[in-house]
Chains A and B, each alone.
Chain A
């Protein structure tokens, strides 16, 4: 057994784990974070995607011991404490970015990661950014639409920085 400490969705957990325990097993079976699902079990589908220290990873392909000391965000940690959905969750709901819904937790976590890096992705960049996530219902059209819509609402809610305001002014004048 190896002692690990992990902050998951804002809560700190100390646990003894067998080294071979996968992060996704630890999240689901030990911590009860069953919002993160196991899809393909072969690191192809991305349904198990979580953020590890702010970056998207496939939790079926990470050992829990590798996440020792890290900050993990799962789909269950996105909504506000008042239950208000994260803009990406809200957009998937509004745009119906799902069919059966099994890939949705991973799709949303990957989209959150993508939008952190690129606040205004093109459709091609969205598709490329989600290449590690498979929807076997092939519901990609509405998934892309949802991510585009989430990007718009997230940009609208972020006040422009002095630098970006200056750039905008420079372009328009």
Chain B
């Protein structure tokens, strides 16, 4: 299986990439690590006329400390993200989830920004970005703009990125004093999540002061489980309280049926995984 023919250009700068993508309009596609795009090209699920390779943009790789946040370059590979000391220190939820993406070979090439821009409902990092209140820095024909995760994922495999837009970096607020966990359920031979739950918990004096919970693959976009968060705010840090709160995991969710699992199956799974995720995040 060979991709349909396309024109190819290797961007030397972000501005180059924006210009090339804007010129190609809806027929253009940015190539990051290619670990989702290449299989789609080969299956001819996608056939862009122009591929703009971001692989040479070394300024988009790496993680830096920016005071109260980390800034993760969009072209940083999963392998680099999951090993980065700053990510381990300030955003261990991202390191934990990145380690579950694909397999070793895929993590060597697949990128953090690529996963977010691809916006596969079964991808793990969009849900994690949503739970972390990450903010995307996007370069476009009109200049730079910031898009919060809550507005970035708009539909099935669809983000707020338009023609000519390039995801440059992701700003992840440090969660100081929080503990986190990513709970993932998947088939052994496939690393896509059937359902995943990203949880962050801040405990205080035997209770849960605040929690953040986002669900993977419980809708066409990742879903922030606001009902669970509301139920956990100020709740005692006990298994019973967490189980009760997890019962609200389906508020706002609208799971799909696909080749991996039925919507009913996911409906059963989400509250269970939410309970496990919050328990583990809270050290309970």
Which A residues are closer than 8 A to B by beta carbons?
A: 2, 18-20, 22, 25, 41-44, 46, 49, 52, 55-58, 60-63, 65-66, 68, 110, 113-114, 129, 131-132, 134
Question: Do residues A110 and B104 form an inter-chain contact, with CB atoms below 8 A?
Answer: yes
- For A1, the closest partner residue in chain B by CB is B8
Question: Do residues B38 and A132 form an inter-chain contact, with CB atoms below 8 A?
Answer: no
Which B residues are closer than 8 A to A by beta carbons?
A: 1-8, 10, 31, 34-35, 38-39, 41-43, 51, 53, 55, 79, 102-106, 108-109, 189, 191
Question: Do residues A46 and B109 form an inter-chain contact, with CB atoms below 8 A?
Answer: no
Question: Do residues A19 and B8 form an inter-chain contact, with CB atoms below 8 A?
Answer: yes
Question: Do residues B106 and A58 form an inter-chain contact, with CB atoms below 8 A?
Answer: yes
How far does the alpha carbon of A134 sit from the alpha carbon of B7 in the complex, in Å?
Answer: 33
Question: Do residues A2 and B189 form an inter-chain contact, with CB atoms below 8 A?
Answer: no
- B2, B8, B104: the one within 8 Å of A22 (CB): B2
Question: Do residues A58 and B3 form an inter-chain contact, with CB atoms below 8 A?
Answer: no
Kindly count the residue-residue contacts between A and B in the assembled complex, taking CB atoms under 8 Å apart. Answer: 82
Hey, which chain A residues are within 8 Å of B103, CB to CB? Answer: 46, 131-132
Question: Do residues B3 and A49 form an inter-chain contact, with CB atoms below 8 A?
Answer: no
Question: Do residues B105 and A132 form an inter-chain contact, with CB atoms below 8 A?
Answer: yes
Which secondary structure dominates chain A's binding surface?
mixed
Question: Do residues A19 and B104 form an inter-chain contact, with CB atoms below 8 A?
Answer: no
Question: Do residues B8 and A61 form an inter-chain contact, with CB atoms below 8 A?
Answer: no
- For A23, the closest partner residue in chain B by CB is B38
Question: Do residues B3 and A43 form an inter-chain contact, with CB atoms below 8 A?
Answer: no
Question: Do residues B108 and A43 form an inter-chain contact, with CB atoms below 8 A?
Answer: no
Hey, which chain A residues are within 8 Å of B189, CB to CB? Answer: 44, 134
How far does the alpha carbon of A47 sit from the alpha carbon of B189 in the complex, in Å?
Answer: 15
How far does the alpha carbon of A66 sit from the alpha carbon of B5 in the complex, in Å?
Answer: 16
Hey, which chain B residues are within 8 Å of A131, CB to CB? Answer: 103-104, 191
Question: Do residues B34 and A66 form an inter-chain contact, with CB atoms below 8 A?
Answer: yes
Question: Do residues B109 and A19 form an inter-chain contact, with CB atoms below 8 A?
Answer: no
Hey, which chain B residues are within 8 Å of A55, CB to CB? Answer: 79, 108
Question: Do residues A66 and B104 form an inter-chain contact, with CB atoms below 8 A?
Answer: no
Least distance between A56 CB and chain B CB atoms (Å): 5
Question: Do residues A56 and B104 form an inter-chain contact, with CB atoms below 8 A?
Answer: yes
Question: Do residues A62 and B38 form an inter-chain contact, with CB atoms below 8 A?
Answer: yes
Least distance between A125 CB and chain B CB atoms (Å): 11
- A42, A61, A132: the one within 8 Å of B104 (CB): A132
Hey, which chain A residues are within 8 Å of B3, CB to CB? Answer: 20, 22
How far does the alpha carbon of A42 sit from the alpha carbon of B109 in the complex, in Å?
Answer: 16
- For B188, the closest partner residue in chain A by CB is A131
Hey, which chain A residues are within 8 Å of B10, CB to CB? Answer: 65, 68
Least distance between B220 CB and chain A CB atoms (Å): 24
Known: A41-B1, A132-B105. A66 touches B53 (CB 8 A): yes
Hey, which chain B residues are within 8 Å of A60, CB to CB? Answer: 38, 42
Hey, which chain B residues are within 8 Å of A56, CB to CB? Answer: 104-105, 108
Question: Do residues B109 and A43 form an inter-chain contact, with CB atoms below 8 A?
Answer: no
Hey, which chain B residues are within 8 Å of A18, CB to CB? Answer: 5
Hey, which chain A residues are within 8 Å of B79, CB to CB? Answer: 55
- A20, A42, A52: the one within 8 Å of B2 (CB): A20
Least distance between B124 CB and chain A CB atoms (Å): 15
Hey, which chain B residues are within 8 Å of A2, CB to CB? Answer: 8
How far does the alpha carbon of A129 sit from the alpha carbon of B108 in the complex, in Å?
Answer: 13
Hey, which chain A residues are within 8 Å of B39, CB to CB? Answer: 42-43, 61
Question: Do residues B34 and A63 form an inter-chain contact, with CB atoms below 8 A?
Answer: yes
